[in-house]
Amino acid sequence: MNEVLEFLGSISWWAWILIFLVAVAIKDIFFNKTHIIKHNFPVVGNLRYMLESIGPELRQYIVASNREELPFNRGERGWIYASSKNENNYEGFGTDRDIYGNHYIFVNNAMMPFRMEKNHFNHEDPTFIACAKVMGLYHKRRRPFRPASIINVSAMSFGSLSARAIESLNRGCKKAAAFHNTGEGGISSYHKKGADVVYQIGTAYFGVRDENGNFSKEKLIALVDENPHIKAIEIKLSQGAKPGKGGVLPASKITEEIAEIRHIPLNKDVLSPPNHTAFENTRELVDFIEEIAEATGLPVGIKSAVGQLKQWEELADLMQQTGTGPDFISIDGGEGGTGAAPPSFADHVSLPFIYAFSEVYKIFVNRGITERIVFIASGKLGFPGKAAMAMALGADCISVAREAMLSIGCIQAQVCHNNTCPSGVATQNKWLQAGINVKDKSERVNYYFTKFRKELLEITHACGYEHPCQINMSDVQINLSDKTLVATLEETFCYQKAEVEFTSVQEHVDSPYLGGKIKAKEVTTKEAETEDTSVYDKNNNTKTEDKS
């Protein structure tokens, strides 16, 4: 044995490399039956596949410029990261965007910005922007709800996201007074950390299904009674990433906790069908909405991607004729989202946000019923400039999913569907998600939302308005092409946004329907590396430092 060890020890390092390469060559030439390149070029072929496997990382960090990557480029991710860490999120030396590019947005500022009175609430809290409309007020629901934040977390299920990610988002939403949409996976203990919650009902009725997988009104009523922080219910018809297609939750990802929350069996793949069994047409959808609203007392809305418009027209006509229907409508752009989807669906099925929203909103504004509905916009809108554009089109609130994921550490690895997310955000792997510090990440969600609202409010004031709901379609222009140059949103989409009833921000602060727990706080935006990065809470006379 000693002789063998001495012999192996006498072999030079370069000889070991040669032996290894020979072994690889023998394996691929004589035993490989599937890869032609590895068979014909065993050493170079393996090197080729290795480089291909790390190609996305090489392009992301070395090759691509700040504005090249998709779905979110480095510049966009950098703004979210800096905002969520309460660092300097400014940029110097002018924009590096192609301002002459197609669909580039211009916000028309006023010559004289809006001036706040000395006692204006936004002096005390420059991040407060509540929704200008109240969900369920028109339809006289027993528990109307005014979202305390104009930006909120869109639907992402526990199961798709990890437990620590969900808890971080919920705790962050509590601090930012935002609501947290559960996604169709049901409500978990991680959704119960203090934030307002919108409970989503999907086609599989997870969490509110009977033993046959059908909708159970009794379970929904019990769920709402047990969880008073549920402020509204959203019926998901489809989502931007894969409209008209159901999902599969593989048995390997179903833990005992997920099975209990979703009311599904262990060790068995669970299918989400593409359509609902509780209703089959538009009239039955409206009846279903009214049934749930009556049973729970909560505002009830729908979420959908947009393609054909006939059924949207049917819905608007029904609402106009009967005075019933959804209290809010979430329009999801076809830009895709956190859900895994076939490329054919993600790339081609359903309209992008700007087309989808304008087409649907136009239907309701032509019938004069927009005041009944809170319009929620979703689709890569987690940036103040894009949000201003969405508000000009008629949106009342913004929902963000991937942007919220980025705020808690997502690095856009694009492996959400593989259960191998390296940041621990979109995986059920205990080891990978163990690195998420919930206390730290919840603070980052809070900073991202408050910085977002503060900057959106500054844009609003620059346009001469007090609240973003007052931004109209002539206040935003869009590049159409190198020939047509620039046109307003009104000229482009051929309608004018309906005027939203607005008196003052103070009215929102005093609203009996206001969600969240609003506290006056002064946020210091870090504009240089030496500046303080604290959030000062005047009510508690305490100061929270950013330790990240």
Assigned token pair, 183: 């996604």
% of the chain residues with pLDDT over 70: 91
Please name which of 222, 183, 178, 175 lies closest in space to residue 199, comparing C-alpha atoms.
Answer: 183
Torsion, CA 61, CA 62, CA 64, CA 66, rounded to 10? 60
Q: Report how far apart the first and last C-alpha atoms of the chain are (Å, whole number).
A: 54
Assigned token pair, 470: 């007052």
Please name which of 468, 475, 538 lies closest in space to residue 505, comparing C-alpha atoms.
Answer: 468
Structure confidence at residue 540 (pLDDT): 44
Q: Residue 486 pLDDT > 50, yes or no?
A: yes
Dump pLDDT digits (tens) for 197-215.
999 999 999 999 998 889 9
**Cα distance between residue 375 and residue 369, in whole Å:** 12
In the structure, what pLDDT confidence band is assigned to residue 548 with cuts at 50, 70 and 90? very low
How far CA 73 is from CA of 269, 343, 403, 498, in Å, comes to 35, 20, 12, 34
% of the chain residues with pLDDT over 90: 55
How far CA 177 is from CA of 154, 229, 233, 363, 514, in Å, comes to 14, 12, 18, 32, 10
Residues 469, 507 contacting (CB under 8 angstroms): no
Q: Residue 538 pLDDT > 70, yes or no?
A: no
Please name which of 398, 504, 508, 401 lies closest in space to residue 145, comparing C-alpha atoms.
Answer: 508
Dump pLDDT digits (tens) for 332-381.
998 866 666 777 877 788 899 999 999 999 999 999 999 999 999 999 99
Q: Residue 543 pLDDT > 50, yes or no?
A: no
Give the residue-averaged pLDDT of 302-326. 96
Q: Residue 83 pLDDT > 80, yes or no?
A: yes
Structure confidence at residue 537 (pLDDT): 47
In the structure, what pLDDT confidence band is assigned to residue 50 with cuts at 50, 70 and 90? confident
Structure confidence at residue 360 (pLDDT): 96
**Cα distance between residue 389 and residue 103, in whole Å:** 11
Please name which of 215, 304, 217, 204 lies closest in space to residue 264, comparing C-alpha atoms.
Answer: 204
Assigned token pair, 114: 């809006």
Dump pLDDT digits (tens) for 85-105.
999 999 888 888 888 888 899
Please name which of 357, 374, 111, 29 lies closest in space to residue 234, comparing C-alpha atoms.
Answer: 374
Task: Please state, rounded to an integer, the average pLDDT across all residues of the chain.
Answer: 87
Structure confidence at residue 336 (pLDDT): 67
- The better pLDDT of the pair 512, 542 is held by 512
Alpha-carbon torsion (7, 12, 15, 16), positive or negative:
positive
Q: Residue 508 pLDDT > 60, yes or no?
A: yes
Give the residue-averaged pLDDT of 302-330. 96
Find tokens 């793949």 and name the residue: 269
What pTM did the predictor assign? 0.86
DSSP code at position 151: E
**Cα distance between residue 72 and residue 84, in whole Å:** 16
Residues 89, 82 contacting (CB under 8 angstroms): yes
Give the residue-averaged pLDDT of 192-200. 96
In the structure, what pLDDT confidence band is assigned to residue 263 with cuts at 50, 70 and 90? confident
How far CA 429 is from CA of 167, 182, 255, 262, 384, in Å, comes to 16, 20, 11, 19, 34
Find tokens 């999801």 and name the residue: 332
Q: State how far Cα 418 lies from the chain centre.
A: 20
